[in-house]
Structure 1
């Protein structure tokens, strides 16, 4: 189940990265459709974080526990922070902030999967 959730989070994040990258290339501002797409990615990420947190509480712990906990705590704040920054900036390059955040989120989700595959 975790692999499927990581794949879903990564795929949705990459789709949103392409969407916001295209918006930046076309000099468009962040719109409602982009924010709804980011909300879908965020909800999927929160499901992944809850599943991994429940696994950690059940005794399945990765070798690098501190790194895994840091990812679990900080990953859900990545997209909201980028969205706030993008909405506050309102320049033609503000969608690029979301593009970078979505690409970073895809990497963080994959890194969480790698951490949870190596267990004590």
Structure 2
């Protein structure tokens, strides 16, 4: 995996978590700007999925199971969009808190992806 991309996804996810956590603290629901932030983080996770599949197709293998690695890649891709979808149903501060939690989950998944690859 590309360490720089993993760090970029993790940092942007944590920035999104802080931003949405601050909105939840201020008793605000998710707004359009939050969804733009979620889209940026999701695009980075999609790029990471592409890089991961490209590396696997090129013959590189993770230190652990390939199935587990691909599962974590898919989970990382879906963590923030799933939280964003749930936040649409909860248009209170808890929607923002849900997105913040999803972004923290993504950051943790990134650490685990790095470990699975052999970092």
Under a length normalisation based on structure 2, what TM-score does the superposition of the two structures give? 0.93
Q: Using the alignment, how far apart are the partners of 2:12 and 2:48 within structure 1?
A: 13
Q: How much has 1:14 moved relative to structure 2? A: 0.4
Matched, 1:89 2:90: yes
> Which residue pairs with 1:79 in the alignment?
80
Partner of 1:28: 28
Deviation at 1:75, TM superposition (A): 2.0
| CA deviation profile, 1:14-37 (whole Å, cap 9, x unmatched) | 000000000000001100111101
How many residues align? The count is 118
1:59 and 2:56 correspond:
no
The structural deviation recorded for 1:73 is 2.3
Shift of 1:113: 1.5
| Offset, 1:109 | 1.2
In 1, Cα distance between the equivalents of 2:9 and 2:116?
Answer: 16
2:107 is aligned to 106
Q: State the distance in 2 between where 1:59 and 1:115 align.
A: 16
Matched residue, 1:39:
39
In structure 1, what is the Cα distance between the partners aligned to 2:104 and 2:42?
13
Structure 2 residues without counterparts, runs of 5 or longer? none
Distance 1:58 1:49 in 2: 14
Structure 1 runs, 4 residues or longer, greater than 3 Å off = none
- Aligned: 1:16 with 2:16: yes
Distance 1:15 1:69 in 2: 25
